[in-house]
Structure 1
Amino acid sequence: MISQARMFALKVIMATSLCCFVLSVGAQDTDPSEVGALRAIRSRLVDPNKYLNWSKGDPCKSNWTGVLCFYGPLDDGHLHVQEILLLNTNLSGSLAPEIGQLSYMRILDFMWNQLSGNIPKEIGNIKSLELMLLSGNKFSGSLPEEFGFLPNLSRIQIDSNNLSGPLPKSFANLTEMRHIHLNNNSISGQIPPELYVLPKLVHILLDNNNLSGYLPEEFSMLPALEILQLDNNNFSGSQIPASYGNMSRLLKLSLRNCSLQGPVPDLSKIPGLGYLDLSWNSLSGTIPSNRLSNNITTIILSNNQLNGTISRNFSGLPILQILSLENNLLTGSVPSNVWQNMTFNGTQRLILDFENNSLTSISGIPSPPANVTIMLKGNPACGNANTLNISQFCGFQDGEFTSLESLTNSSSSCPSQACPTDQSYEYVPTNPISCRCAAPIRVGYRMKSPGFSDFLPYMDPLERFLANGLQLNRSQLYMDSFAWENGPRLRLYIKLYPDNSSIFNVSEILRIRDLFTGWHIPHNDVFGPFELLNFTLLGPYAYVIPASQKSGLSRGSLAGILIGTIVGTITLSAAISLLIKRRGAGYRHTPSRKRLLSRVQMKVDGVKGFNYKEMSLATNNFSDSAQVGQGGYGKVYKGILADGTVVAIKRAQEDSLQGSKEFFTELELLSRLHHRNLVSLVGYCDEANEQVNTVHHQSGMLSSIVDSRMGDYPSDCLEKFAELALKCCQHESEARPSITEVVRELEMIMHMISESDVTPSDTNTSFSSGVFTPVSSSSMPTGSASMISSSITSTITSTNGSDPISRGVSSTIVPR
């Protein structure tokens, strides 16, 4: 039978084998070609705000700003870049062609910067790319044909740039494409009719370009198309194909100011049509008499050459907000049943604009409810306004919906001094009675093609929709303001508040950000496509940066590696067991400085045991931006726990790890030390090859904890004390004194003081003006001693006596 010592040796070797496997996986670096590509990209970028930290370390392991990687290596053994998220970071310069070497990237997001030059055609080499997001820059030149050969691309969003040239016909190859957003550029030429083959295409936004030619009739065969928005182009002489009336999924058709001619097509067969704008064209003939969908909110046919009468089938449309027919050649009377068959709630309005036609009267009794605005100026009927009792409709009318509004915060009755607004905290406005103070996430959000004209009736539904999409409670979301912009587009400013706490934890921030940047919020027919303008993290969130995503290893790969490791470990263990039996030799364990997976079961009274994930989330994966200090033992990070507690987290570096028993002994000792100038131990983590202890974070100046009475003692004693303190603060461990040497020096200083003839009452030495002058410093470093000798402990007794060393801590330190 194998002895207990031999069994222990066997377990150690098995654990070491498994540990080596884990370390071999975790020690991988970013693919060298991708590192080179990122450095080339950085060399072309101008970063006036010094936002990027792309100069040090490994991109994936060092959390380069905006670079998100797969959590683990892929099949080639390297880490790979999955996303570049540099939204609204005030970058200028250009994109380097080496960006095409990021062959595993899924999301490319440089939206709302000032990048210029051509968009590199080499992006067409990134076959994994799903989202190409370059809106709001100054890119020029043509769209490369190479972009049409990205098999996974589902969204190309390069609006609000200076692009020119034609749309590539190769886009017809993008079988995963759902969103083509290229509005607000100078793209010219014919829209490729070949795009009709795209089976998943939902949105075509090409408004505000220089497109010409004809409207492709083939678009009526797009099976998933919901929005066709082509305003402000020049399809001179072209007609709207009658087949557009067969687009069964269409929700919005906007062809404003496109130089179109011919009749208005019959769109009554489109069951979900909610928004129709054909204004500012040269359309002629009569308005189709067939009734449109009950989902219609907006009908704008103004500024054309339409004749005939106003159809009575405009009546009874339950959510209609605007019917605009001004500046046409319409005759006859205005049918009053347009508004008589509608039911209005408190915020719902209906605008009927019939100005500048040839209308002669209003049928029925002209007494609409207050929610209805009728505009008849410029019609013959207004010549008989008094007779017809319609004078109120013939003057100036407010034909605009609310276009700009800052919503009222109802928490003004809460005490202002109780919520630190200078640190970006504020009272939660959705629950003013409780006066709960919290730090919000600020989000700029824009609807690019909303399906309504009046936002007020849709404000509450939008808030509920976003709260559900973000997996938040309704009370956590507050609409701060909104503004209509040219397009029309709707800009929103939203604040998100933590639930029942003062701040979000890091994992929740990153989860919410990912929902916005990855377009994971579910699609909505009425609200249409959106874009993220800003995701602003202030105050307690200022240090948070995106973290890497989960592993790209397939389940099969993981299973294969795991099985292989287990088999190899069993084989190795069997061989070692046989060797031990044959030799019959005893085994003496030599402690390794690396942590072994077998460890002492720890439980320290009053101290919480954290897992590694909690520590990682609290420090944003131990990011450099959260680091506040470093020594020979390891690094100190500022962290925020899930409950909002701000802590200092000291993480041992690999060559400073202690044995489990030693670590446990240190924790027990630290848990018993209590003093106003000592930070208290909050918790620890001893899993995943880690030794981490967590203490309350205290910020302040060094002078705030130095005893003012130190000026009452001889200057030579103070010099020696300062000299000892400086030695203890040396960065290199070899230069720092041992605990034994510190005790010896302190005892010598205490002896000098006791032998001194100078007493506190008669000395004129000043701490601030004498030999030793305190230096104003940054926050006091916190943490436990780097090493506690197993042969020395300290007995520290609180006293009210004058004490030059630790402000109330007894100077008696007894070695055992």
Structure 2
Amino acid sequence: MLPTAKCSSGVQMLTLMLEIIKMMGKRFCGLVYAVLYGYLVLFAVAQITDPSEVSALGAVMGRLIDPMNHLGNWYEGDPCQSKWTGVLCFDTTDETDGYLHIQNLLLLNMNLSGSLAPELGQLSRLRILDFMWNDLTGSIPKEIGNISSLVLLLLNGNRLSGSLPEELGKLSNLNRLQVDENNISGTIPKSFANMTSMRHFHLNNNSIVGQLPPQLFNLSRLIHLLVDNNNLTGSLPPEYSELPTLRILQLDNNNFSGTELPATYGNFSSLVKLSLRHCSLQGAVPDLSRIPTLHYLDLSGNQLTGPIPSNKLSDNITTIDLSENSLNGSIPASFSDLPSLQRLDLRNNAFASVLGDLDPPNNVTLRYDIFIKTRLMIWQFQDSELELGGNPICTSANIPNIDKFCDSEAEDDETITKSTNSKCPIEACPTDNFYEYVPSSGDLCTCAAPLRIGYRLKSPSFSYFGPYANLFEAYVTSSLNLSIYQLSVDSIAWEKGPRLRMYLKLFPHANSTMFNTSEVLRIREIFTSWRFPGRDLFGPYELLNFTLLGPYASNPETRRTGISKGVLAAIVVPAIASAVVITAAVTFLMTRRLARNQRSLSRRRMSTKVSMKIDGVKGFKFKELASATDNFNRSTQVGQGVYGKVYKGILSDNTVVAIKRAEEGSLQGQKEFLTEIKLLSRLHHRNLVSLLGYCDEEEEQMLVYEFMPNGTLRDWLSENETYIQVNVARESGLMFSVIDNRMGSYPSKCIERFVALALNCCHDKTERRPSMSDVVRELETILKMILETDATFSESTSMHSDSKSTSASASSSFMTRDQYFSSNVLGSDLVSGVIPTISPR
């Protein structure tokens, strides 16, 4: 690599040249001229990315806040040549202008905050714009509508607000729009009907208002329309039934008050899931038996009336939820002849009779968790159980022993247990490098480093995953061109929606301990470009995180940008002549500087390693804490303040901990950090959390505490109204009326200062809370006041031990003091205030 490749700008390079001049003197002027000339030649060929796009990325960076420095290399060289994080370029230069252009901008789950820059619209060749799962605020720039080449616009999982720009309707090549889980308001623009390539509309979990535009029925390629959990009103467009490829229509938790479900919705030709839960719908349930592909029907929590149509639904159907309506009549006998049915929920209606026998039909055979589940009816495994709770049938005198069918309930919970090989020795794999046993390695104890992937099915078409687990594994591995044994579904969890969250682990091929770089990039590209083939049963998915830990984290090639070898050769060959000239001078300077810095760094590291050995406090490695928090995933965060963030983590021994991680602006010096650890390690009290360890690696400062699961102190005080009572008492001068006498007696001034400090520590605004140094300083002042008062009080009582007036005077300033009072308690226990579930300062 050329020495100049380390320089991030022409200014840095010229500064380096000036240092060479100062070191070598005027007699080397000829060499300096050669150096500068060589640099200019190199600089002329090194700018290979379209300058307008480079400028746009600079504006993007200017709007972002990057506390973890994920985009640190954005200041180095050319975006395509220097492989900027998340920037992928086309492999070849454009014939019309001779530049490389940016193809994808992938900034998934990087803890970025700030806002989106309007200059994004200058990335004229962009195909994927991905800012998923960050903490961005502000509005969506209308200028994004100028990127006519855009195929994927992925902004879900942020805090974006404002309306959806009309200009996005110009994106005729857009295939997927994901802005779900934001704070988007306003209406859905009618211009979106011009997105003729649109297949996936994910607008759920926002604050969108108004009516669904009927014009969207023009989107003949639309597959998924998810607009649940918004504030939509008006009527349901009957025209949507004409959408030829629509698979999922999910509109739960909107307010279509007074609207009937259109009868035309029984004409969908390819609908797999119809979910309109809690939408204030009225009228009758339409006949949906003509939809041959229907898997999932949820119309619960509405105001539907009348009987259920008796025609048999599709044999594919897994779930029927019609609970919490005003349906009446009889339960259709056709429900007992649905071979794939997992769940039938008809609670809280007005059914007075059931068709057919009370026993399960003969064709219901033993299969995984087969039950038609409700308080109304349950057939589970081979047991002949029937549940009829919540309906008039339970009070019928004509059915003998009906009571026994109206009391019990079935459980909804579903878990997956990881398979482990009990023959393998415990912890024999190198856990520090995130290796573990391959679950499907049989009798062999094979260790390998998996890729860890957070994955969620946004709208699955089943209620229980178990029967489809093997099918899902085959679906994922075939899409990734892997073998079944290479996938482990590590855990699953049903979330509101319902959505199914899971963690996947992908293991390398047999006889390999890790994936090579090209495989990691190939797999990541399939996930991030949504190249999975459609599968109606599993529905749309979302990528929550693609975590590169252990041996994968240290490989810079995983930040590939797509630059070709030919382009690199075009840069290197013309620059070799100038590189030869400058190499000697630059190497001399850099070697001298590096040696000086290395000696200093070695001294600091040696000093740190020696001084940080503290009894009872473990020194954690950064990799351990990253693994415990899924690489500090936002979902594990339990608090945040000026100091930094607090994460819930699970260590390798299953210990649950709270990890307080300092942000860049709050980092202390080594001495100060060491002092704080020593101080906290001496604090032991039943009302204080214990410091378990610390981490001082990779420019990080973290403290590890035992985890307290009951919320923040501020929340606890608010819920118990204690905070309000104490605050009112303090402002009204009645502080001592809310203090428990069992605390002992202390000077009134000390009590007032201590309470003021405690209330400030619980302030709603993090910037108003005192820093740790301020807390320690104030507590030391209070302690000093107590000790001084103790000395004065002791001297006074010894001189006037028989004086009643003195005793009266003393009791006016003191509450009754506990005879077991210890200054060590005040001097240590109270200094902490570092309970991890409290939002940090």
Give the TM-score normalised by structure 1. Answer: 0.63
For 2:239 and 2:424, how far apart are their aligned partners in 1? 61
> 2:61: which partner in 1?
42
The answer for the alignment partner of 2:89 in structure 1 is: 69
For 1:409 and 1:25, locate their aligned partners in 2 and report how far apart those are by CA, in whole Å: 58
Matched, 1:469 2:324: no
Correspondent of 1:153 among 174, 181, 190: 174
Residues 88 and 562 in structure 2, CA contact (< 8 A), matched pair in contact too: yes
Q: Quick one: which amino acid aligns to residue 413 of structure 1?
A: K
Query: Closer, same or farther in 2 for the Cα pair 1:372/1:547, shift >3 Å?
Result: farther
Q: What CA deviation, in whole Å up to 9, does each residue of 1:478-498 have, x standing for no partner?
A: 010000000000001110000
Alpha-carbon distance in 1 for matches of 2:200, 2:357: 41
Q: Secondary structure at the match of 2:351?
A: strand
Instruction: Tell which deviates more after alignment, 132-141 or 459-468.
Output: 459-468
CA contact (8 A) 1:350 1:373 kept: no
Q: Which moved more, 1:212-221 or 1:542-551?
A: 542-551
Matched, 1:483 2:493: yes
Question: 1:546 aligns to what?
Answer: 559
Matched residue, 1:746: none
Which has more radius of gyration? 1
1:335 CA drift (Å): 2.9
Corresponding position of 1:732: 587
User: How much does 1:386 deviate?
Assistant: 12
Does structure 1 residue 288 correspond to structure 2 residue 309?
A: yes
What CA distance in whole angstroms lies between the structure 2 residues aligned with 1:536 and 1:395?
A: 47
Aligned-partner SS, 2:527: helix
Report whether the alignment pairs 1:209 with 2:230. Answer: yes
Q: Which amino acid aligns with 2:559?
A: P
* Contact residue 352 and residue 374 of structure 1 kept, 8 A: no
Question: 1:210-249 residue pairs with structure 2 within 5 A?
Answer: 210-249=231-270
Contact 1:276 1:298 (C-alpha < 8 Å) held by counterparts: yes
Aligned-partner SS, 1:50: coil
2:544 corresponds, among 494, 510, 533, to: 533
Does the 8 Å CA contact 2:370/2:380 hold for their aligned counterparts? no
Instruction: Rate the CA distance shift 1:386–1:267 in 2: closer, same or farther, 3 A.
Output: closer
Q: In 2, are the aligned partners of 1:407 and 1:479 still within 8 Å (CA)?
A: no
Matched ranges for 1:449-468 at <5 A: 449-468=459-478
Q: Kindly provide the CA deviation profile for residues 550-588 of structure 1, in whole angstroms up to 9, marking residues without a partner as x.
A: 7799xxxx9xxxxxx9xxxxxxxxxxxxxxxxxxxxxxx
Change (3 A) 1:734 1:284: closer
- Write the mapping of 1:648-659 to structure 2, written as runs, cut at 5 A: 655=579
SS at match of 2:126: coil
**Structure 1 unpaired stretches of 5+:** 1-22, 356-361, 559-564, 566-592, 597-633, 635-651, 658-727, 738-771, 779-816
The 5 A counterparts of 1:21-60 are: 29-52=48-71, 53-60=73-80
Structure 1 partner of 2:295: 274
2:121 maps to 1:100: yes
Cα drift, residue 416 of structure 1: 3.6
Hey, what does 1:179 align to over in structure 2? 200
What is the deviation of 1:80?
0.9
Offset at residue 353 of structure 1 (A): 1.8
CA distance in 1, matches of 2:237, 2:470: 38
In structure 2, what residue type is equivalent to 1:43? Answer: G
- 1:323 maps to 344
Structure-2 residue corresponding to 1:251: 272
Give the alignment partner of residue 506 of structure 1, picking from 517, 531, 544: 517
Alignment of 1:349 onto 2:333:
no
The answer to whether the Cα contact below 8 Å between 1:298 and 1:323 also exists between their aligned partners in 2 is: yes
CA contact (8 A) 2:450 2:508 kept: yes
Matches within 5 A, 1:227-626: 227-336=248-357, 339-355=360-376, 369-370=381-382, 374-383=386-395, 388-398=400-410, 400-403=411-414, 405-416=415-426, 418-500=428-510, 501-544=512-555, 545-549=558-562
Asked if structure 2 preserves the Cα contact closer than 8 Å seen for 1:476 and 1:497, the reply is: yes
Return the alpha-carbon distance in structure 2 between the equivalents of residues 26 and 128 of structure 1. 27
**CA separation of 1:134/1:773 partners in 2, compared to 1, >3 Å: closer, same or farther?**
closer
Letter of the structure 2 residue corresponding to residue 135 of structure 1: N
1:50 counterpart letter in structure 2: N
User: How much does 1:105 deviate?
Assistant: 0.5
- Residue correspondences, number: 550
In 1, distance between residues paired with 2:352 and 2:335? 16
- Other structure's SS at 1:253 match: strand
Q: 1:594 to 1:402 in 2, by over 3 A?
A: closer
Q: CA-atom RMSD, angstroms?
A: 3.4
Relative to 1, partners in 2 of residues 1:218 and 1:547: Cα closer, same or farther, differing over 3 Å? same
Counterpart of 1:192?
213
Q: For 2:507 and 2:465, how far apart are their aligned partners in 1?
A: 23
Contact 1:348 1:371 in 2 (8 A): no
Write the letter of the residue equivalent to 1:297: T
Note the C-alpha offset of 1:221.
1.1
Compute the displacement of 1:71 (Å). 1.6
Structure 2 distance, partners of 1:348, 1:773, is 63
Q: 1:102 to 1:336 in 2, by over 3 A?
A: farther
Contact 2:352–2:391 (CA<8 Å) still a contact in 1? no
- Report the Cα distance in structure 1 between the residues aligned to 2:603 and 2:218, rounded to whole angstroms: 79
Structure 1 residues 350 and 775: CA distance shift in structure 2, 3 A: closer
Separation (CA, whole Å) in 1 of partners of 2:115 and 2:227: 24
Distance 1:552 1:198 in 2: 41
What are the ranges of 5 or more consecutive residues in structure 2 without an aligned counterpart? 1-41, 593-601, 609-841
Which residue does the alignment assign to 1:684?
A: none
Residues 345 and 102 (structure 1), Cα distance of their counterparts in 2 relative to 1, 3 Å cut: farther
In structure 2, what is the equivalent of residue 136 of structure 1? 157
Go from structure 1 to structure 2 and tell me whether the alpha carbon gap of 1:196 and 1:54 turns closer, same or farther (over 3 Å shift).
Answer: same
Quote the offset at 1:389 in angstroms. 3.9
Q: Secondary structure at the match of 2:75?
A: coil
2:198, 2:371 → 1: CA distance? 37
Q: What amino acid sits opposite 2:114 in the alignment?
A: G
CA distance in 1, matches of 2:142, 2:401: 66
Worse-matched range after superposition: 335-344 or 235-244: 335-344
1:201 & 1:409 partners in 2: Cα distance? 40
Q: Quote the offset at 1:299 in angstroms.
A: 0.7
- Is the counterpart of residue 78 in structure 1 residue 99 in structure 2? yes
Q: CA deviation at 1:327?
A: 1.0
* SS, match of residue 153 in structure 2: strand
Residues in 1 aligned to 2:296 and 2:465: alpha-carbon distance in whole angstroms: 14
Q: Secondary structure at the match of 1:54?
A: helix
- The structure-2 alpha-carbon separation of the partners of 1:498 and 1:196, relative to structure 1 and needing over 3 Å to count, comes to same
**What is the Cα deviation at residue 297 of structure 1?**
0.5
State the shift of 1:368 in Å.
Answer: 6.6
Separation in structure 2 between the aligned mates of residue 211 and residue 82 of structure 1, nearest angstrom? 36
| CA 734–532 in structure 1, closer or farther in 2 if over 3 Å, else same | closer
> What is the CA-CA distance between 1:340 and the residue it aligns to?
1.2
Partners of 2:347 and 2:390 within 8 A in 1? no
Aligned partners of 1:26 and 1:462: how far apart in 2?
49
Secondary structure in 1 aligned to 2:69?
coil
Counterpart of 1:63 in structure 2: which amino acid? K
